[in-house]
Amino acid sequence: MSSAPRFDDAHAGGEARRAARQGLGVALATSAYGVSFGALAVAAGLDIWQTCVLSLVMFTGGSQFAFVGVIASGGLAAAPAAIASAALLGVRNAAYAMRMSPVIGSGFWRRAAASQFTIDESTAVSLAQTTTHARLVGFWVTGLGIYVGWNLSTLAGALLGDVLGDPKAYGLDAAAAAAFLALLWPRLRRRQAIAVGAAAAVVATVLTPALMPGVPVLVAAIVAVVVGWFNWLGRDDAPPEEPFDVAEREGMP
């Protein structure tokens, strides 16, 4: 009987180490395409310091790429659409925050610190684990690792773009589309997700020649919201199962 706690501790330690390795791997892979963001931001008209501050403060790749993409297409006149597009893509992080709340735990400062690192990758690595401790390790290692790596690669990309000129000549402009596709592809497993993706793509393609840059993306997002709101082609799914220790803590008064 006395060997059970040691086995549990060893198992928990193994889970935490595995979560840390996964987090570091994801951080290295994700940080790499920060170079393209830095180069594209400079090409869009931001200077090096503005580019770096944007990464430090906003720190959500989808929103950052959307912002500089719209600015590059429409200039300062498209700033409202750029801000709206970036904000719209950033809303998903609020949903992640609600999902991660029982894992992060209580305490204002802890949650305030975690909010900056609640992104696609840190949430995905965390929720892939089976214990609360491993989830915390996965979240913090992934979030902090990407934050440091992304900002360093953003600086490198901004310096590179400032020296070499047009990032399209080196194919860096394709990195943003590749990153979005990498996020989208694993979700295209059900009819509703496929229908939403196809409909939004058609709407954005048709409206792009007629509307200001950034607006077609917002209209396409409305299509996705309407489909999701009425749950067309969807079905009710049970929420993912919580680890025992999280479920037990949530049930406590």
| Mean of per-residue pLDDT scores for the chain | 79
When pLDDT is cut at 50, 70 and 90, the band that residue 253 belongs to is very low
Share of the chain above pLDDT 70, in %: 73
- Name the token pair of 138: 């996965």
pTM: 0.71
Q: What is the pLDDT of residue 220?
A: 74
Contact 178, 37 (CB under 8 A): no
Residue 64 has pLDDT above 80, yes or no: yes
User: How far, in Å, CA of 126 to CA of 16, rounded?
Assistant: 10
User: How far, in Å, CA of 19 to CA of 141, rounded?
Assistant: 8
Residue 61 has a CB neighbour count (10 Å cut-off) of 27
Q: What is the pLDDT of residue 144?
A: 97
Q: What is the pLDDT of residue 215?
A: 73
Per-residue pLDDT reduced to its tens digit, 164-204: 666 666 665 566 566 566 656 666 677 777 777 777 778 87
When pLDDT is cut at 50, 70 and 90, the band that residue 7 belongs to is very low
Can you say whether the dihedral through the CA atoms of 225, 227, 233, 235 is positive or negative? positive
DSSP strands (E only) in 7-59: none
Contact 167, 146 (CB under 8 A): no
